[in-house]
Amino acid sequence: MSTSLIILAAGQGTRMNSDLPKVLHKVAGAPLLVHAMRAGAALEPERTVIVTGHGADAVAKAAMDFDPDAQVVLQDEQLGTGHAVAQAREALADVTGDAIVLYGDTPFIQPETLTAMAAARMYSDVVVLGFDAADPGRYGRLITDGQTLTKIVEFKDATETERAITLCNSGVISADAKVLFDLIDAVGNDNAAGEYYLTDIVEIARSRGLSASVVRCDEAETLGVNTRAQLAQAEAAFQSRARAEALENGVNMTAPETVFFGFDTYLGRDSIIEPNVVFGPDVTVESGVEIRAFSHLEGCHVSRGSVVGPYARLRPGAELAEHVKIGNFVEVKNAQIADGAKVNHLSYVGDASIGKATNVGAGVITCNYDGVFKHRTTIGENVFVGSNTMLVAPVTLGDGSMTASGSVITSDVPAEALAVARARQANKPGLARRMFEKLKNLKAKAEKGA
């Protein structure tokens, strides 16, 4: 049975005290909305509909960046969750199968949980995701009769007896898409908030002879983000889980509490991650790689046997082949570095390709930007780039070539050639002594005058 996703992302999130829409605040380098979309993607949805409101254009862009096939609809007025889901009706008018409602500010619903909900739909017309809360607080309560869910009661409308119930509503609901919209049509707004509650569809479904049931998940999965403090809690929860999974999968971290993961970081087994390493989005590290302390990686791929850092930065487009060495205070951006190449000290390699077994000396810079356009540097195999060489792109260094230290290379260097591009040194006997004497006299006069 196919499933479509409806992700509610219209709220302003006033408690965040921010101009940014709530669902665009980030955990592990990705917007909260993307976490929800990523979880739902495990169901291989037929269609994904994002319901936007506040900051609709920015929310739509984030959604489309993650999934270009996602459809975006606008909720002009925020009249409750039932009203929000109703905005997806037209986008799903021609689909068959189920629809599942997720929330853009609830990032930790696990794919296995959604799979369990899809399975529960085989024997229940409406499936609600619930959790047993340690402190139920103001959550809506799930009212059950044996295995049957009879209704959902919002806290503000609940009796004292109902408020004593600890089985709470996550808000995630699944049903046949056409049944879902039919039920929403019957929802009214005769409640304390004057809103159209999605949760009312359970009682309406029961009154029509339809069945409803609950799938339970861990309370941690239902963590919603409404404040900056909760955003920090969500980040901590994500990092804790990511570290535990990495250790379980064979990654060695000497101080895991100091390592920070991106939402999609992949680390191969037997990789070594030293303290204070930060992974941004889209990082793949293969087996047997060593990432040394205080390095920052994002948008890059590091192949097996390579060593990165300490104090290195790999930016988007950095592709390291096997047994590459990137050393201290080296930055690599949009560059491909072949097997066994070394960039060990204080260098910048951007918009470049470096061939096998090439050695890039300390202080080398690929001068890739002319103020308007980016240009590419191509360095062949077995090249020795002398320390403090400036490579003014576009430029090519042939296989087996060499540059003299301190050179400014503005033209291609043929294979096996030595390029020397620096002014001839001239020594002026005694001039240093005379200059120092003159400067010291000027300083003495200045201090006397003061």
Catalytic residues: 345
Q: Report the amino acid identity of residue 137.
A: G
- The angle formed by the CA atoms of residues 167, 172 and 174, to the nearest 5 degrees, is 115
Q: Of 306, 376, 396, whose CA–CA distance to 344 is shortest?
A: 306
Task: Give Cα 2 distance to the centre of its chain.
Answer: 28
E strand residue ranges, 272-311: 272-273, 278-279, 283-285, 290-291, 296-297, 300-302, 307-308
Closest CA to 133 of 174, 168, 182: 168
Between the alpha carbon of residue 152 and those of residues 189, 244, 252, the distances in Å are 15, 35, 46
One-letter amino acid of 434: R
- H or E element at residue 22: none
Largest CA-CA distance found in the chain, in angstroms, rounded: 105
Instruction: Indicate the burial class of 236 (C-beta count within 10 angstroms; 0-12, 13-18, 19 or more).
Output: exposed
Q: What are phi and psi of 401, to 5 degrees?
A: -85, 175
Task: Report whether the peptide linkage leading into residue 394 is cis, meaning its omega lies within 30 degrees of zero.
Answer: yes
Q: How many helices (H) and strands (E) does the chain have?
A: 9, 35
Of 165, 160, 172, 173, which is closest to residue 141 (Cα–Cα)?
165
Measure the CA–CA gap between 260 and 30, rounded to whole angstroms.
Answer: 13
Which token pair is 422?
Answer: 């620096």
Which H helix or E strand runs over 239? helix 228-248
* Residues 123/140, Cβ–Cβ less than 8 Å: no
For residue 111, is the peptide bond before it cis, meaning its omega torsion is within 30 degrees of 0?
no
What is the phi/psi pair of residue 408, to 5°?
-110, 105
385 and 379 Cβ atoms separated by less than 8 Å: yes
Q: What angle do CA 396, 398, 399 make, to 5 degrees?
A: 145
